[in-house]
Chains A and B, each alone.
Chain A
Amino acid sequence: MLFKSLSDPTRRAIFERLCREGEQTVAALTAEAGISQPSVSKHLAVLKHAGLVLDRHQGRQTHYSAQLAALTPLIDWTKEMTGFWESRLDDLEDLLKRMDQ
């Protein structure tokens, strides 16, 4: 569901904007999205259903914020970091050889 919810470019753009700029109202998001407010709301509902955004009601306004933690399980940090350290330790061993001289 997470992948599907981010596969739509407009939805992805909305989500990325919430990530970059923090909490936004539907009105503010609509002003930049170039589509109607009901469409923006529909996209936000999909993102909310996927756990990617959280809504907060304040007066007549609804504020949305990105929930990046929802993405954390998707990224294989273990794999990313193992690859990172393997290559760093290769450089470390090269350095040790140079230190001999």
Chain B
Amino acid sequence: MTNPAGETRTVVVEREVAHPPEKLWRALTQPHLIEEWLMKNDFKPVTGHKFRLSREPKPDVKVAIDCEVLKVEPNRTLSYSWVAYGLDSVVTFTLTPTATGTHLRLEQSGFTADQKAAFKGAKASWPQFLAALERVLEQDDNEGDNA
């Protein structure tokens, strides 16, 4: 049996945004603006503040992400923990001013698979987990000949 504990992965998404860092910072840190592009939230730009991101993509499906603010450097860096689906990760936004606006770098790292957390998290968000599993199994069906 494989043991995924300790194995971490990182997602990086980068964008050149045609707006200054100050404006981007507002969109990243003001709750009513965060809600417009990410999810409902009770965010505060205060280190140690715990908040929850939530949305209901369908009436019977609820997604909730538990977060804690880890780092706040106005107009430069925002970092918070992101715990959902049993995945314990950290999301970091890094803003760098450019001649035309801002270079935005989003990094999500972690994805450590602690067994207990994975079980608890997956139980709490079981429909989503199952949907993801369903997709994986479908992919496997399609690629079954190569297995």
- Verify A6–B137 contact, CB threshold 8 A: yes
* Inter-chain CB contacts under 8 Å: number: 98
Q: How far is the CB of B28 from chain A (nearest CB, A)?
A: 8
Q: Are A68 and B11 in contact (CB under 8 A)?
A: no
Please give, as numbers and ranges, the residues of chain A lying within 8 Å of B132 by CB-CB distance: 75, 80
Question: At the interface, yes or no: B104 with Cβ under 8 Å from chain A?
Answer: yes
Closest Cβ neighbor of A82 among chain B residues: B11
Interface residues contributed by chain A, number (CB under 8 Å): 37
Q: What 5 A-B pairs come out closest when comparing CB atoms? A: A51-B1, A91-B37, A92-B37, A72-B113, A69-B115
Residues of B within 8 A of A (CB): 1-2, 4-5, 9-11, 13, 15, 17-19, 23-24, 26-27, 33, 36-38, 85-87, 104, 106, 108, 111, 113-115, 118-119, 122-123, 126, 129-130, 132-133, 136-137, 140, 147
List 15 A-B pairs, Cβ < 8 Å.
A3-B140, A19-B119, A51-B1, A65-B119, A67-B115, A68-B115, A68-B118, A68-B122, A68-B129, A74-B136, A75-B132, A77-B85, A88-B37, A94-B37, A95-B27
